[in-house]
Amino acid sequence: MRHPRRIGLIGFGAIAKVVMDVVDQHSRNTIIAAVLVRPGAASINSLPTGCQVVDKVEDLIALAPDGIYECAGHDAVRQYGAMVLTAGVAFSIVSVGVLADAHLRASLYEKAAKSGARISIITGAIAGVEALSAARFSGLQSVEHTVIKPPEAWKGTPGELFLKTARHGEPTVLYDGSAEGAVKRYPKNANVIATIALAGLGFENTRAILISDPTTSSNVHSLKALGDFGNLSVEIAGNSLPDNPKTSMLAAYSVARSIILRSGEIII
């Protein structure tokens, strides 16, 4: 009989709470062994049996040797990624946009290569990533990713300036250019863009279009790719988590799927 895999989570926000619930219900071979929170964070209740709360990454690594999942934002990847990988523990990233930083990306890749640990990218709110990644080997010619969100989703971003002069009630293009530029200008909306760039043609050669649309209440992601393999066209209109309107439901369920997949009898 296999021993249960011991997994750790960085962060205890809306994503981590969903992950814990889904894994607890659907996986017999995985234990969420520990969750890393900031020192001085409020006490956490209703944790799965055997799950510990720690405030040092060294303790998380010791308790969760089979994999650690980042669920806490770009800063968490910067702060803890190198330490997790250097320890030889698999590291899964939700906040993929941080990897647009070429220096950080190269550093994490180097740490993983030296220790033998694996970096996993959580696909999150977009579909079609596996097909795009496979098409890359056939000779991709173009990849275009369009993000459409309601105006409130662009608050606190450079897009707010565009919306002040936009025609009332009409969609407004906030950005049209490389994925690299989109990630730099809109880091809070960058995770899916970065995922598409990493899976396909890279940050410089992937086209990103960001649109504010007052007629939608969903977060819409449209992926188009062209290559020797043929044509790829995928669109998904996702709902947000009730506890965090800025986070897609699929982002949380994608993390849970990744954890359950690695401990199941079949990979699909």
Do residues 113 and 134 both lie within one domain? no
Could you list the residue range(s) of the whole structural domain that residue 19 is in? 5-121
Do residues 101 and 153 both lie within one domain? no
Question: Is it the case that residue 90 has pLDDT exceeding 90?
Answer: yes
- Catalytic status, residue 26: no
Question: Is it the case that residue 170 has pLDDT exceeding 80?
Answer: yes
Do residues 239 and 150 both lie within one domain? yes
Tell me, yes or no, whether 180 lies in a domain.
yes
Do residues 173 and 99 both lie within one domain? no
Tell me, yes or no, whether 116 lies in a domain.
yes
Tell me, yes or no, whether 251 lies in a domain.
no
Tell me, yes or no, whether 58 lies in a domain.
yes
Opening angle at CA 217, ends 168 and 12, nearest 5: 130
Do residues 114 and 10 both lie within one domain? yes
Do residues 103 and 182 both lie within one domain? no
Report the CATH number at residue 82: 3.40.50.720
Domain boundary among 66, 90, 121: 121
Report pLDDT digits (tens) over 249-260. Answer: 999 999 999 999
Tell me, yes or no, whether 265 lies in a domain.
no
Tell me, yes or no, whether 263 lies in a domain.
no
Do residues 183 and 109 both lie within one domain? no
Largest CA distance in the chain: 64
76 and 104 Cβ atoms separated by less than 8 Å: no
Q: How many domains are there within the chain?
A: 2
For residues 32 and 60, give the distance between their C-alpha atoms in angstroms, rounded to a whole number: 11
- Please give the helix or strand (H or E) that residue 144 lies within, else none: strand 140-149
Mean pLDDT, to the nearest integer, of 60-66? 96
* DSSP labels, 37-58: --TTPPP--SPPTT-EEES-HH
Do residues 98 and 202 both lie within one domain? no
Radius of gyration for the alpha carbons in the chain, expressed in angstroms and rounded: 19
Tell me, yes or no, whether 198 lies in a domain.
yes
pLDDT band at 42 (very low <50, low <70, confident <90, very high): low
State the Cα torsion 132-193-262-45 to the nearest 10°: -160
Helix, strand, coil shares of the chain as percentages rounded to 5?
40, 25, 30
Do residues 18 and 95 both lie within one domain? yes
How does the average pLDDT of the chain come out, rounded? 91
Report the CATH number at residue 230: 3.30.360.10
Would you call 237 helix, strand, or coil by DSSP?
A: strand
Question: Is it the case that residue 57 has pLDDT exceeding 90?
Answer: yes
DSSP state of 157: S
Do residues 202 and 162 both lie within one domain? yes
Tell me, yes or no, whether 147 lies in a domain.
yes
Do residues 50 and 110 both lie within one domain? yes
